[in-house]
Amino acid sequence: MADYRKMWEDLGMDVETHDMLCEVLPQAFGDVYLSQDDRPEGMDYYNMVVAEIHGIRPAELIEAQKEGKKVFGTFCVYVPDEIVFAAGAIATGLCGGSQFRVPGGEKVLPTNTCPLIKASVGARLDRTCPFFRIADMYIGETTCDGKKKAWEILAADVPMHVMDLPQMKRVKDVNAWAEEIVEFKRVVEEFTGNEVSAESLADAIRLINGKRRALARLYEFRKNENVPISGRDVLLISQIAFYDDPERFTQMTNQLCDELKKRVAGGVSVCRKGSKRIMLTGTPMAIPNWKLHQIIETSGGIVVCEETCTGTRYFENLVEENETTVADQINALAERYMNINCACFTPNLGRVDDILRLAKEYNVDGIIDVNLKFCNLYDTEGYLVEKAMREAGIPVLGLETDYTDSDAQQLRTRVSAFIEMLNN
Ligand code: BJ8
């Protein structure tokens, strides 16, 4: 890896603590990823991105800042990146998926906060993540209670704008979200000094739709009987999608898809015949949270779909590309984003419909409904999801976990028993 110490120091990072993180990541990555046989060659790009995750992209963002561009950090798939790119700025994901940063979050947050929030706050306050240092402004949203309060703590440290996400899906709620996007546009324009025009917004809509199309194409290959790419690899790609330059990401993912097409034609499969096809549903898995995929795929299963925000909720549904005025484009954005089915909505029956549809499309043998510890929203909704799956005759296992390894053995036992049950 190139030496980025000077860059990290200039960002005001705690380089010594960060060194400790850099020491453990390659080992974890090697165990989960490099141990796999017969990976597509196109994964080399994503391996390289992870190997230099705190180097290459942060350096690009800093270069962009030197040219006068602003960087916006986001935490949720409801925030429309299109507005940011249309203003000549850059959006990057900021969610925390590492246990390393959880204790930093616990210094200021209640212990019974979900690890994703604790890791995110810890990453900022402990100064161990370049992305959290680089972002000029954070964009929060009113999804769950833990996040809402976390924004107030982060706002004392960094400029923050919070988008008020409605929690129902009536016409007036979609209209309210469109108004929030108008307000977001105003904030972004003011902060960047650049106007969002119908032309620049149309370009940005096409740019982000391109990323969605590439991910949708990637997922299509997992519907085959012979699965040409592991769930672990697809998870990694989805996680990188939040950070990478969207144009390059789209290009590299489409290139990988070309390779997968050949693999499918050649009957290549990354798993043994008879491996059980598993869909994961529930809370997102931010990088480097690969725990459950690793357990499932080393216990006789293959993950063929994720109904999560690091899965289908991120890329399904495109924004209409043919609108010609900013007002109509914003309405199109509101429509598309309000189609995402997060558990923060009530009722959220669309999510159950999504899971039933995906179970069919990906021909799954069983569903694992996963909840990040202390996420009350998904935990509570899990009751309705699991009930609906049982009624539809789809085997389902509900699991709760966090970022530690302390439950890995117990999870493996439960996952193995579930897959064994699917075999009988
Ligand atoms: S759209 S899932 S990215 S809110 S896991 S922080 S909900 S307590 S991450 Fe999410 Fe947007 Fe919804 Fe997706 Fe809170 Fe639950 Fe933690 Fe969560």
Q: Is the CB of 184 under 6 A from ligand 1?
A: no
| Helix ranges, 266-407 (H) | 291-297, 312-315, 326-337, 349-361, 376-391
Is ligand 1 within 6 A of the CB of residue 375? yes
308 CA to centre of ligand 1 in angstroms: 10
Residue nearest to atom 3 of ligand 1 (CA): 76
Distance 143 CA to ligand 1 centre (A): 7
Closest CA to 331 of 210, 174, 195: 174
Please give the distance, rounded to the nearest whole angstrom, from the Cα atom of residue 153 to the centre of ligand 1.
18
Ligand 1 atom 14: the closest Cα is on which residue?
A: 144
pLDDT per residue rounded down to tens, the chain (424 residues) = 678 999 999 999 999 999 998 888 999 999 999 999 999 999 999 999 999 999 999 999 999 999 999 999 999 999 999 999 999 999 999 989 999 999 999 999 999 999 999 999 999 999 999 999 999 999 999 999 999 999 999 999 999 999 999 999 999 999 999 999 999 999 999 999 999 999 999 999 999 999 999 999 999 999 999 999 999 999 999 999 999 999 999 999 999 999 999 999 999 999 999 999 999 999 999 999 999 999 999 999 999 999 999 999 999 999 999 999 999 999 999 999 999 999 999 999 999 999 999 999 999 999 999 999 999 999 999 999 999 999 999 999 999 999 999 999 999 999 999 999 999 8
CB-ligand 1 contact for 165 (6 Å cutoff):
no
The reply to whether ligand 1 has any atom less than 6 angstroms from the CB of 78 is: yes
Pocket probe mutation, ligand 1, options 74, 76, 120, max atoms within 8 Å of Cβ: 76
* Cα of 145 from ligand 1 centre, angstroms: 10
Determine whether the shortest distance from the Cβ of 178 to ligand 1 is under 6 A: no
Mutate to test the pocket of ligand 1, among 111, 143, 169, 307 (most ligand atoms within 8 A of CB): 143
Dist. CA 389 → ligand 1 center (Å): 22
What is the atom index within ligand 1 of the atom nearest the CA of 343?
Answer: 12
Q: Give residue 424's pLDDT.
A: 84
Query: Residue 76 C-alpha to ligand 1 middle, in angstroms?
Result: 7
CB distance 221 to 302 below 8 Å: no
CB of 279 within 8 A of CB of 358? yes
Measured from the CA of 372, which atom of ligand 1 is nearest? 5
pLDDT score of 3: 85
Cβ(147) – ligand 1 distance below 6 Å: yes
Q: How far apart are CA 120 and CA 101, in angstroms?
A: 7
pTM here is 0.97
Dist CA 94 CA 138 (whole Å):
9
CA–centroid distance, 38 to ligand 1, in Å, is: 34
Q: What is the structure's pLDDT at 321?
A: 98
Nearest CA, atom 11, ligand 1:
76
Specify the ligand 1 atom closest to the Cα of 378: 15
Q: Indicate the length of the chain as a whole number.
A: 424
Specify the residue with its C-alpha closest to ligand 1, atom 10.
76
Nearest ligand 1 atom to the CA of 283 is 5
- Identify which of 186, 115, 168, 55 has the alpha carbon closest to the alpha carbon of residue 375: 115
Reduce the DSSP state of residue 96 to 3 states and report it: coil
pLDDT for the residue numbered 1: 61
Mutational pocket test of ligand 1: of 141, 283, 381, the residue with most ligand atoms within 8 Å of the beta carbon: 283
User: Does ligand 1 lie within 6 Å of residue 53's CB atom?
Assistant: no
Are 263 and 275 spatial neighbours (Cβ–Cβ below 8 Å)? Answer: no
Q: How far is CA 399 from CA 129, 366, 411, in A?
A: 29, 13, 8
Q: Comparing C-alpha atoms, which of 156, 120, 161, 163 is closest to residue 137? A: 161
Q: How far is the CA of 283 from the centre of ligand 1 (A)?
A: 6
Residue 130, ligand 1, Cβ within 6 A: no
Residue with tokens 């992209």: 57
What is the whole-number distance in angstroms between the Cα of residue 362 and the centre of ligand 1?
24
